[in-house]
A and B are shown apart, each in its own frame.
Chain A
Amino acid sequence: MIEIKNVYKKLGGKEVLRGINLEVQDGELMVIMGGSGMGKSVLLKHIIGFLNPDSGDVLVDGVSIPGCSRKELYDIRKGYGVVFQSPALLQSLTIEDNVALPLKEHSDYSADKIGEIVRERLHWVKLYEIEQKLPSELSGGMQKRASLARALTLDPHLMLFDEPATGLDPILTATIAQLIVDLHGRIGFTSIAVSHNMSFSFKIADRIAMLYNGRIVAVGTPDEIRGSSDPFVHDFIHGIAKKE
């Protein structure tokens, strides 16, 4: 379970997170939705351990992430799969080497076994015959899927997605969303995605948390969020411009 307890964070003099409280149950697919610059990615970085809160705590399976040493964080992160806004594939490595990298680093598997796992993960994300290509030879959508395959390599129990639909057309966005739903059904990981893309969020989420001005203003199922009376949630969902 992920517990975010009263987290405050100031960056560059601006208070980005102002007392965030959120719980994500095991196996749940939570989407944190909100406008640009509302602190969604900053919150995700607290869960990864890239940032520490000024006050408050982030607990992953009962372990306080801000209190972890660098070595402890590395141990915890072996159970994470993270898909970044950009594909973040190592450009100097082939797709096969990219996906195999976590296994080469953290397992004693033979080259054959690693190759087998890599092909399996690539098939999970519907990528075929691209093992020897470099990331730059693939389209944006394929790179995103390869990045997803790499995140799945070590059988993570927690998947984190940072704006996974950014830069993709509506069809590719729907494809990625369906992939996440399918993989979630197959593996049963806990997942937190941050996104401002509504169709994507409503498609994948078990629950949605709406982030506005550094606070969670609403949490609920997609239907509950659609019917929310909160003015920000209403305006965000219906794409109503902010009144000056």
Chain B
Amino acid sequence: MDLFEKTGSKILDSLEGVGGTIVTLFRGLYWFKQTIKYRALIFEQMLFCGVESIPVVIVIALFTGMVVALQTGQALARFELEGTIGNVVAASICREMGPVFTAIIVAGRVGSAMAAQLGTMKVSEEIDALEVMSIDPTRYLVMPRVWALLIMLPVLTIFADLIGIIGGGVIARLQIGVSYYTYFDGVMSNLEIKDIYTGMVKAVVFGFSISAVACYQGLHARAGAQGVGRATTRSLVFAFLSILIFDYFISAIFY
């Protein structure tokens, strides 16, 4: 096989993957009409995606807020503008750091677990068993996962924003010497509603992309443990890529 043929084949594979992911997402969305019937499965996924992600989100968000406050606080202090640190931390956390870092954590923890679980079900013929029982896997498996991330990623993002801002406040007080009052006054007076909803739009889009990528990769895992491993890795890589690409375009649209 020559270089052109190999490159062409890779491009076709990638396009097939993108198309398949979009089809998987839309099939999952189609079954939203049966949300009530599958509420127990959705709730179970929400617990896994959301509640069980809280400890790691706390740690990452706290340290992100602290690092942002430390770096910007020192730079602002040179120009005697350290009083504006609250504005900078809040804007950067809510617009960018909160949604993106939360999505990356969820893609790593939840997306890869989804891909591995569905991949294992695929190779052990559980997906085929659903098909022969006339149970559409996109209804039984994909829809609850899409719903769960669609709800829990924005919730986790709001949570991460709050923790990040609090972490930033602690560093602003202890390291930079800005009072809590000044810091939170900066946060409250300059944080626009647009900063919040842009972050929420990002979280929703990331929720769709992480769940769709993970479900598609899992449902199309090839036979054997190697196939499941490959599906998990691909899910992680493609979810990260989609997060960064969507992040750019959403930022470009809103700002």
Contact = CB atoms under 8 A, between A and B. Distances in A.
B9 to A, nearest CB: 15
Interface in A41-83: 48, 50, 74-75, 77-78, 80, 82
A90 B129 CA distance: 9
A106 interface: yes
B164 to A, nearest CB: 34
Given A89-B126, A90-B126, A48 B132 contact: yes
Contacts, number: 48
A176 B128 CA distance: 22
B231 to A, nearest CB: 17
A188 interface: no
B124 A86 contact: yes
Interface in A73-111: 74-75, 77-78, 80, 82, 84-86, 88-91, 101-102, 105-106
Nearest to A70: B136
B124 A88 contact: yes
A88 B132 CA distance: 11
Interface string A150-187: 10001000000000000000000000000000000000
B192 interface: no
A85 B125 contact: yes
Contacts of A85: 125
A91 B126 contact: yes
A91 B132 CA distance: 17
A85 B129 CA distance: 11
A102 B125 CA distance: 16
Contacts of B126: 88-91
Interface in B118-163: 121, 124-126, 128-136, 140
B133 A88 contact: no
Q: Which range holds the interface residue count of chain B?
A: 10 to 19
A50 B134 contact: no
A80 B116 CA distance: 29
Most buried by A among B128, B132, B134, B135: B132
Given A86-B124, A88-B124, A77 B129 contact: no
A105 B132 contact: no
A84 B126 CA distance: 9
B144 to A, nearest CB: 12
Contacts of B124: 86, 88, 91
A77 B125 contact: no
B79 to A, nearest CB: 57
A59 B166 CA distance: 67
Chain B CB within 10 A, most for which of A48, A80, A105, A154:
A105
A129 B169 CA distance: 58
Interface of B: 121, 124-126, 128-136, 140
20 contacts: A48-B131, A50-B128, A75-B134, A77-B134, A84-B125, A84-B128, A86-B124, A86-B125, A88-B124, A88-B125, A88-B128, A88-B129, A89-B129, A90-B130, A91-B121, A91-B126, A101-B133, A101-B135, A105-B135, A105-B140
**Nearest 5 interchain pairs by C-beta:** A88-B129, A88-B125, A74-B134, A82-B132, A84-B125
Given A88-B125, A91-B124, A102-B135, 8 more contacts: A50-B131, A75-B134, A77-B133, A82-B129, A84-B128, A86-B124, A90-B129, A105-B135
